[in-house]
Amino acid sequence: MKRALITGITGQDGSYLAELLLEKGYEVHGIVRRASTESFERIEHLAGKIHLHQADLLDQLSIIDVIKVSNPQEVYNLAAQSFVPTSWKQPMLTGQFTALGVTQVLEAVKLLGRDTIKFYQASSSEMFGKVQAVPQIETTPFYPRSPYGVAKVYGHWITVNYRESYNMFCTSGILFNHESERRGKEFVTRKVTDGVARIKLGLATELKLGNLDSKRDWGFAGDYVRAMWLMLQQDKPDDYVVATNKTHTVQRLVEVAFTAAGLDWQKHVKIDPSLVRPAEVDLLIGDPAKAKKHLGWEPEVSFEQLIERMVKADLARLQGQPVPDFKARGI
């Protein structure tokens, strides 16, 4: 039986990846941080099926210990401070988690399994920032626009560096925005779908947003974790863009979500200047041709399907009904 270790297993992607790996017959191990209240909501349904270990990206010995105990053939490094606005409020912490955290995991892999462990790094389209080419591909130069983006550039290049310096199997997935009903409520898709559901149910009357003009290439998280797994099934490590090759404005997202609930967005959405970022990433659109050619990967869920499903899930959740849940594969 193959064994995998996931850092960030309590996050959106970690929960979908754990499901996918279980489905494929893996023994799944995950790292969790100690907190005064447990935040295991996304993996509650996997209790008893996965192995959880207490550790922190910043505690090198704890990472070494978990790798020793779990003895994985695959390590997926998904843990990070992943919310862009927080990276301006806590730039040092973001650098420690999101940048140096990668080196901590790579060092532990080098020490314990440099010839046997395949390593995946969760790189991000935020690295393209003020984009230097449209659409963005693996060789498009990076121009990050936030401390988060800068930290991810470090994480990406240190992954490439360990691959080239130590001949380790280190792969980096440059993933564009991916969403689901398990997305944190601070991110714009989930903020909007949760807001729509609250307005529909009479629990709120307005939704405050920042910049409606920025464009993102949004896909479904379940599709994207499948790409992560495929990357580690290859004979050689590499870098891959994972995206849909379609882009939409935040305003379009708002229109689709309000329409899904039979509401007129213009009556409810208010612009709050405090939500506008000090530096914006105006346009992201990725070309996943390399992932398609080498991994046979393609997205299965469209933008409209994704947003409509998220609205439905938030409506059900707020009414105390069973939440229709995307599974890691298909909908």
Catalytic residue positions, numbered: 124, 126, 148
Contact 178, 221 (CB under 8 A): yes
Q: Determine, following the binding rule CB under 6 A, whether residue 216 of this chain makes contact with ligand G4F.
A: yes
What distance lies between CA 110 and its chain's CA centroid? 25
Minimal distance, residue 97 CB to ligand NAP, in Å: 5
Q: Which of residues 92-131 bind ligand NAP (CB under 6 A)?
A: 97, 122, 124
Taking CB under 6 A as the binding criterion, the range among 89-97, 273-281, 292-300, 309-317 that sits at the site for ligand G4F is 273-281
Number of residues that bind ligand NAP (CB under 6 A): 25
Measured from the CB atom, the residue of 81 and 244 that comes closer to ligand NAP is 81
Minimal distance, residue 84 CB to ligand G4F, in Å: 4
Instruction: Show Cβ contacts of residue 137 under 8 Å, excluding neighbours closer than 6 positions.
Output: 241, 286, 287, 289, 290
Cα–Cα distance between 152 and 102 in angstroms, integer? Answer: 9
Measured from the CB atom, the residue of 12 and 146 that comes closer to ligand NAP is 12
Helix (H, G, I), strand (E, B) or coil at 82: coil
Binding residue (CB under 6 A) for ligand NAP from 2, 23, 24, 39: 39
Cα–Cα distance between 175 and 183 in angstroms, integer? Answer: 15
Cα–Cα distance between 76 and 42 in angstroms, integer? Answer: 17
Cα–Cα distance between 29 and 70 in angstroms, integer? Answer: 7
Minimal distance, residue 270 CB to ligand NAP, in Å: 25
Binding residue (CB under 6 A) for ligand NAP from 12, 136, 146, 214: 12
Q: Which of residues 73-132 bind ligand G4F (CB under 6 A)?
A: 82, 84, 124-126
What are the tokens at 167? Answer: 């001949």
Strand pairing class (269-271; 207-209) = parallel
CA dihedral (155, 158, 162, 164) positive or negative: positive
Q: Determine, following the binding rule CB under 6 A, whether residue 176 of this chain makes contact with ligand G4F.
A: yes
Residue at 140: amino acid letter = T
CA dihedral (93, 98, 99, 101) positive or negative: positive
Number of residues that bind ligand G4F (CB under 6 A): 21
Cα–Cα distance between 71 and 61 in angstroms, integer? Answer: 15
Taking CB under 6 A as the binding criterion, the range among 43-51, 132-140, 172-180, 260-268 that sits at the site for ligand NAP is 172-180
Minimal distance, residue 291 CB to ligand G4F, in Å: 16
Residue at 121: amino acid letter = Q
Cα–Cα distance between 151 and 144 in angstroms, integer? Answer: 9
Instruction: Using CB positions, name the residue nearest to ligand NAP.
Output: 11
Residues that bind ligand NAP (CB under 6 A): 7-8, 10-14, 31, 33, 39, 56-58, 78-82, 97, 122, 124, 175, 177-178, 184
Residues that bind ligand G4F (CB under 6 A): 82, 84, 124-126, 176-177, 186-188, 191, 209-211, 214, 216, 250, 275, 277, 280, 284
